Amino acid sequence: MAYQVLARKWRPSSFDEMVGQEHVLRAFTNALEQQRLHHAYLLTGTRGVGKTTLARILAKCLNCETGVTAAPCGGCEPCRDIDAGRFVDLIEVDAASRTGVEDTRELLDNVQYAPARGRFKVYLIDEVHMLSGHSFNALLKTLEEPPEHVKFILATTDPQKVPVTVLSRCLQFNLKRLSPERIASHLARVAEQEGVQAEPAALRALARAADGSMRDALSLMDQAIAYGAGAVRAAEVADMLGWASAEHMEALVEALGGRDAAAALAAVDALAEQGLDLEGVLRDLVEVLSRSALLQALPALGSGDGMVDALARRLAGMVSAEDLQVFYQIGLQGRRDLPWAPDPRSGLQMVLLRMIAFEPFRGAPEGAGREQLSNTRGPSSEPAQTAQPPPEPSTAAAGPQVGAGLVPAPSGGGVHVEDWAALVSALELRGVARALAENCALLEAGEAGVVLGLAEGHRGLLTRNAQQRLEAALSAHFGTRVRVEMRVQARAPAETPAERQARALAARQREAEAAIEADPLVQALKERLGARIVEGSVHPLDS
């Protein structure tokens, strides 16, 4: 007897054998038991989740000799013929190959005739979205007023391309992707029944590679059995799929955790020399990062994939939560950018170098000193030192109070700032560094430098590079080393240069609008011709 592939051998023949899709099975079961049957159904979902299988089971339910039932006997002639694909009253059409209107009309010409052997004539149109516009128009009238002995089951992977006029005449059910856990569990049962020795880690890898499709998972398992000479082993499955081994992934994780660029590049070279799928390596690395962040937030989280879980727990103890978020975002962006890289190796190298080079700047919260900032890095063997907040500025000094923009120099000399906004405009700053300075308010100035307040809404401007450039510009302006301390607060404690500029611009805008309104020519045009000033069309000449 010829070998039958697992995807066909293990195709479900009843609702009870279906894996997943409980929401659809419940609806069909209730409809069949209550005899509340619609004339047209639309099954949507990605490939390999059971659309065609479900349609064939439904055809058996409708034509079983025991009567319309949710549990067909499977032994009568209609049930056996449907399973064998030779039931004359189940008409299966591949819309991808029969898209023309003439094909559709020829198909529908026989709708009016009664079933030859069964109780219902069932039309299964697969990939229905591939039909042409004229074909949909030809189908539409039949869907609207079908004979009582006809049932339509339409299946598609792209329901967005199905006209709404067709959608409105069908009951639509969306079949979901199957979870890797559910796929792996089913593969384990298949392996046991087939007498195949299979490692759990190998089945989990096959389930991940299937991407929600049970049919793809069974096909991959067939391939793995052949590759492993009758056994399914994790190492051989990784080789078959072109995936990185646990040792290679561990090298990447160690390089990231230690911020070791040389080790990261060496790990990528080793992967590329073996001809592994580098896009898949980046996908796996992003999964490790995601799992690691979850484990940091919820240490009691249950175990997941063996390799991923072990690497994630290792990385979670090496880097901070902020670093993991930066790594994760860079990894996601890298997956989108990888096809545009000169080659996969250089693309993956650049993603890893970005992760190592860019660090989230941990700005000190209000009242926290610079020492506290230096102790907010990731997990450490030593407890972080809690710094005492700086003393409140003295109110006995002459001149305006702290935050008003005018701060006197202390009695020992040092930095003297009379007008923060004027000082910012005089500094040689560009880009993010200038935006940072313009959105800060001066809190105090002294011998060591300046303390600036930044509103929480502008925290995104606070990067290590921007603060260093601001310190360099201030140092060049005063001719001495100036240290900048940032305090992120709910709102800026005083008017910032950006707010002052916006206020001045708004005042000039109001003056310009008032001048136009008062212009005699404009008033004459409004009175005599009913003219009006278009809102937003008036601007100051210097704006």
- Residue 370's pLDDT band (boundaries 50, 70, 90)? very low
Averaged pLDDT, 206-213: 89
- The confidence score (pLDDT) of residue 321 equals 85
Average pLDDT, the chain: 81
Contact 165, 130 (CB under 8 A): no
Checking if the pLDDT of 457 tops 70, the result is yes
The stretch 226-236 carries a mean pLDDT of 88
Q: Which residues pair with 172 in a beta bridge?
A: 42
CA 450, 451, 455 angle in degrees (round to 5)? 140
**How many C-beta atoms lie closer than 10 Å to residue 447's C-beta?**
13
Largest CA distance in the chain: 107
Q: Is the pLDDT of residue 151 over 70?
A: yes
Judged against a pLDDT cut of 50, whether residue 387 lies above it is answered with no
Strands (E), 165-270: 171-174, 197-198, 231-232
The average pLDDT across 521-532 equals 79
pLDDT at 380: 37
Q: Which class is domain 180-241?
A: mainly alpha
Q: Where are the beta strands (DSSP E) in 108-192?
A: 121-126, 150-156, 171-174
Indicate whether 365 pLDDT > 90. no
> Average of pLDDT values for 459-477?
86
Judged by DSSP in three states, 43 sits in strand
pLDDT of residue 1: 55
| Residue ranges of the chain that CATH labels 3.40.50.300 | 6-174
Residue-level pLDDT at 535: 73
Residue 116 scores a pLDDT above 50: yes
Q: Is pLDDT of 409 > 50? A: no
pLDDT digits (tens, 9 = 90+) for 428-440: 888 888 888 999 9
For residue 494 the two structure tokens come to 């005083």
**How would residue 408 be classed by pLDDT, with cut points 50, 70 and 90?**
very low
What is the distance between the alpha carbons of residues 173 and 373, in angstroms, rounded to a whole number? 54
Confidence of residue 414 (pLDDT cuts 50, 70, 90): low
Q: How confident is the model at residue 373 (pLDDT cuts 50, 70, 90)?
A: very low
Residue 386: per-residue pLDDT: 34
Backbone region of residue 48 per phi and psi (left: phi > 0; alpha: psi in -120 to 50; beta: other values): left
**Do residues 92 and 101 touch, judged by C-beta distance below 8 A?**
no
Asked if 494 and 403 touch (Cβ cutoff 8 Å), the reply is: yes
Distance CA 92, CA 55 (A): 10
pLDDT value, residue 96: 75
pLDDT at position 389, please?
38
Which of 37-46, 233-242, 408-417 is predicted with the least confidence, judged by mean pLDDT? 408-417
Is the pLDDT assigned to residue 397 strictly greater than 70? no
Residue 187 pLDDT level (bands cut at 50, 70, 90): very high
The CA distance from 525 to 291, in Å, is: 69
Q: Select from 184, 156, 191 the least CA-distant residue to 170.
A: 156
Share of the chain above pLDDT 90, in %: 21
| Among 166-180, 327-341, 395-409, 410-424, the least confident range | 395-409
Which of 93-102, 138-147, 197-206, 496-505 shows the lowest mean pLDDT across its residues?
93-102
- Number of Cβ within a 10 Å radius of residue 248: 19
305 pLDDT band (50/70/90 cuts)? low
- For the CA atoms of 220, 226, 230, 232, what is the dihedral angle to 10 degrees? -40
* DSSP code at position 407: B
Instruction: Provide the CATH number for the domain formed by 361-376+402-495 in this structure.
Output: 3.30.300.150
Mean pLDDT within 1-19: 86
Please give the Cα distance from 138 to 312 (Å, whole number). 56
Whole-number pLDDT of residue 542: 61
Whether the pLDDT of residue 410 is over 60: the answer is no
Mean pLDDT of 297-321: 78
Note the pLDDT tens digit of each residue in 24-61. 999 999 999 998 889 999 999 888 898 999 999 999 99
Query: Between β-strands 171-174 and 150-156, what pairing exists: parallel, antiparallel or unpaired?
Result: unpaired
Domain with CATH 3.30.300.150 in the chain: 361-376+402-495
Place 304 in a pLDDT band, splitting at 50, 70 and 90. Answer: low
**Using 50, 70 and 90 to split pLDDT, how confident is the model at 361?**
low
CB atoms within 10 A of CB 400: 13
Domain boundaries for CATH 1.20.272.10 within the chain: 246-357
Contact 99, 66 (CB under 8 A): no
Pick the CATH number of 246-357 from 1.20.272.10, 2.60.260.20, 1.10.10.60, 3.40.50.620: 1.20.272.10
Q: Report residue 455 CA to chain centroid gap.
A: 29
Q: Which amino acid, 75?
A: G
* Superfamily of the domain at 6-174: P-loop containing nucleotide triphosphate hydrolases (3.40.50.300)
C-alpha 321: how far from chain center: 19
Question: What stretch(es) of the chain map to CATH 1.10.8.60?
Answer: 180-241
Residue 99: per-residue pLDDT: 65
Give dist(CA 28, CA 14) in Å, integer. 12
Q: Per-residue pLDDT averaged across 474-481, rounded?
A: 86
* Alpha-carbon span 319 to 293, nearest angstrom: 10
